[in-house]
Chains A and B, each alone.
Chain A
Amino acid sequence: MRLLLVEDDLMIGESVLDLLRAEAYAVDWVKDGEMADTALDTQTYDLVLLDLGLPRRDGLAVLRRLRQRKDRTPVLIATARDAVAQRVEGLDMGADDYIVKPYELDELLARIRALIRRASGRAEPVYEHQGISIDPVTREVLVNGQPVVLSAREWAVLQLLLARPGMVLSRRQLEEKIYSWKDDVSSNAVEVYIHGLRKKLGAGLIQNVRGIGYMIPKGKA
């Protein structure tokens, strides 16, 4: 999952960046409105964490431009502006959720998960298929009732495939989503993670569509 963090406060930015990365999100961090515009123009993200009081261009202006481009990327506004009118304005302008600083990290993460889940067209939080149950909140993966431990990157790949069951994602798409700008991308890394996942979860879960990419079949809740 690739996130764009738009935050001008260095201390907040640093902390959020680390905490999100620890959750296996690939995060790009921009510190002003114009940079945010550019990033959103050139890259697709699974979610934007948007501050409003930004230098150079206000967060709301960034949001308006994003929606004018018919971009449906989920936007979570995280700001110190707490007046009801401001929240209403933010949501009406196209934000999907609004959280007021200072917030609890757990709440932020839960809202991020909810937005990503909704964007992928799913309401139920736990994915179950062929004896495999995957809970994105606790990151608990059970194979026939037995817990399995995944590495952060493996989890990131699994999460991406889970986000849209039945949809094939190319290696390139997976790479883009699990690495941020600053990460070095090794050529066959995705294959390595897929291999690891298959080993741990059984070969049946992640299917290879030759010449195109990988997918997880549609499960049942």
Chain B
Amino acid sequence: MSLVPGHSLRARLLWFLLAAVVMTAVAQALIAYRTALAETDEIFDYQMQQMAMSLRPGLPVGAELEDRFAAPDEDNFDFVVQVWSNDGLRIFRSTARAELPQRAVLGFSNVQARGTTYRLYSVAAGSQVIQVAQDLATRRQMAGTLALRTVSPIVLMVPLLMLVVWWVVSASLTPVARVRRQVAEREADDLSELNESGMPDEIRPLVHELNLLFNRMRQAFDAQKNFVADAAHELRSPLAALKLQVQGLRRATDAPSRDLAVNRLSAGIDRATRLVEQLLVLARQQAGSEVDAKTTAVDLTSLARHVLSDMAAAAMNRQIDLGLAHADDSVVNGHEEALRILIRNLLDNAIKYTPPAGTINLAINCQDGKVLLTVDDSGPGIPLADRDRVLDRFYRVSGAHGSGSGLGLAIVKTIADLHHATVSMDDSAALGGLRVTVAFASAR
């Protein structure tokens, strides 16, 4: 235990408790002392009064009674008795030790004499004044003894109390030590949950939050790991294809096989080019989401019409019926070029994964202050389990044989985020394939 109440909960508890106990003891002593003093005052004052009264019948003038008073009342040797005559002559003094000044004030008073304070009671009896006095130190001493007696049990209890507190705190902190050990013993990549059972209520929320954090970190790590694996695959495959195509070209011996090899190589270059372009688009949009904050009102419906007519040829090549199913007039705040890329990627994705002779519908609906851009297709759809991940870069639904870059929907998501729009995926009720909905806030 450190001597300074630093960061140790236990040390701090002990120190504060010790301070509290000491303060309580001091306060109690003080109160006890005050009370005792008041009580002794009362008792002794009464005693002094009684003593004075008993002398009231008077003393013979000139009588020397010093011995008479001093002897029988040994207990009250603290008391000093003096008797004065009216003309200021001291006619009696109980002891030679104390000599008190004559006081005209009757009743109780405090007087200073020879370095001590006396409590003095004067009473007039006929032609005499009787004074009874007592040294106040006696009273204080008695009160002090009483106060000490009251406080001493508490003082004796302190070490015991400290021990008990020490033990209770230690026992209560055992679960904390256990958590600490669990965390200390784990491997760097171990993000499994800590055991929450047996935790005190004060600590369980902390452990719970820790577990939630571990979960989030695990998810982030997994996502990162997946991304790296997916990216390695998607970036290397076009290069691997190119390399093989070049080697095929080099080995081609006759004109037809050379032509075939050249065609393949050219297709491979197109694919690599497209990948690079998509990467650049993604990078530009991600950079844009931080830098370029200027937005303009964009007529989404007319933009969609434009993109649709641009894509019509590509759809026709695959005998796909691509069309606008519904178009409310709509305006959203955003970046026209980015929105164009978003719509093109959505349609491109649909065209790529819809088998020939399929159907793709684009629709724009305005409702409740939202602009909903939906693309339905008659393709194979995306299994529920994959829907969260298809928006990740380079993620490809297993079983899909597409020649895409794996970035199309990631670009859609990035642009949607830039416009504070949401991307959701459902089964297409009308066409049986996938329905992608991008929900924008309407600018009207």
Cα–Cα, bound, A80→B242 (Å): 14
Residues of B within 8 A of A105 (CB): 243-244, 247
A15 adjacent to B403 (CB under 8 Å) = no
Residues of A within 8 A of B238 (CB): 11
A22 contacts B by Cβ under 8 Å? yes
B398 adjacent to A11 (CB under 8 Å) = no
B264 adjacent to A15 (CB under 8 Å) = yes
Which residues 372-401 in B have Cβ within 8 Å of A in the complex?
A: 398-401
B399 adjacent to A56 (CB under 8 Å) = yes
B71 contacts A by Cβ under 8 Å? no
B233 adjacent to A53 (CB under 8 Å) = yes
Given known contacts A19-B247, A102-B243, A14 and B264 CB-to-CB distance under 8 angstroms: yes
Given known contacts A16-B244, A32-B399, A11 and B233 CB-to-CB distance under 8 angstroms: no
Given known contacts A8-B401, A14-B264, A81-B229, A101 and B236 CB-to-CB distance under 8 angstroms: yes
Task: Name the residue among B233, B242, B243, B244 with the largest chain A CB count within 10 angstroms.
Answer: B244
A122 contacts B by Cβ under 8 Å? no
Given known contacts A14-B264, A53-B233, A102 and B239 CB-to-CB distance under 8 angstroms: yes
Residues of B within 8 A of A14 (CB): 264
A12 adjacent to B248 (CB under 8 Å) = no
B232 contacts A by Cβ under 8 Å? yes
Cα–Cα, bound, A82→B233 (Å): 9
Which residues 81-134 in A have Cβ within 8 Å of B in the complex?
A: 81-82, 100-105
Q: What size tier do the contact residues of chain A reach?
A: 20 to 34
Least CB distance, A122 to chain B, in whole angstroms: 27
Task: Name the residue among B229, B264, B267, B400 with the largest chain A CB count within 10 angstroms.
Answer: B229
Which residues 200-255 in B have Cβ within 8 Å of A in the complex?
A: 229, 232-233, 235-245, 247-248, 251
Residues of B within 8 A of A19 (CB): 244, 247-248, 251
B231 nearest in chain A by CB position = A80
Residues of A within 8 A of B433 (CB): none
B271 contacts A by Cβ under 8 Å? yes
A164 contacts B by Cβ under 8 Å? no
Given known contacts A11-B245, A103-B240, A55 and B399 CB-to-CB distance under 8 angstroms: yes
Cα–Cα, bound, A55→B232 (Å): 16
A15 adjacent to B248 (CB under 8 Å) = yes
User: Interface residues of B, CB < 8 Å — how many?
Assistant: 26
Number of A-B contacts (CB under 8 A): 74
Residues of B within 8 A of A22 (CB): 251
Task: Name the residue among A9, A11, A102 with the largest chain B CB count within 10 angstroms.
Answer: A11
Residues of B within 8 A of A55 (CB): 398-401
Least CB distance, A155 to chain B, in whole angstroms: 16
Cα–Cα, bound, A6→B429 (Å): 36
Given known contacts A18-B248, A19-B251, A55-B400, A12 and B241 CB-to-CB distance under 8 angstroms: yes
Given known contacts A10-B401, A101-B237, A15 and B232 CB-to-CB distance under 8 angstroms: no
Given known contacts A19-B248, A32-B399, A55-B401, A12 and B240 CB-to-CB distance under 8 angstroms: yes
B233 adjacent to A15 (CB under 8 Å) = no
- B240 touches which of A10, A18, A81, A102 (Cβ 8 Å): A102
Given known contacts A32-B399, A55-B398, A102-B242, A81 and B247 CB-to-CB distance under 8 angstroms: no
Residues of A within 8 A of B229 (CB): 53, 81
B268 contacts A by Cβ under 8 Å? yes
Residues of A within 8 A of B233 (CB): 53, 79-81
- B243 touches which of A32, A56, A103 (Cβ 8 Å): A103
Least CB distance, B55 to chain A, in whole angstroms: 110
17 contacts between A and B (CB under 8 A): A8-B401, A10-B403, A11-B237, A11-B244, A12-B237, A12-B241, A14-B264, A15-B247, A19-B247, A55-B399, A55-B400, A56-B398, A101-B239, A102-B236, A105-B243, A105-B244, A105-B247
**A contact set with B: CB distance below 8 Å:** 8-12, 14-16, 18-19, 22, 31-32, 53-56, 79-82, 100-105
Given contacts A10-B403, A11-B403, 7 further A-B contacts (CB under 8 A): A11-B264, A11-B267, A14-B264, A22-B251, A80-B233, A81-B232, A103-B240
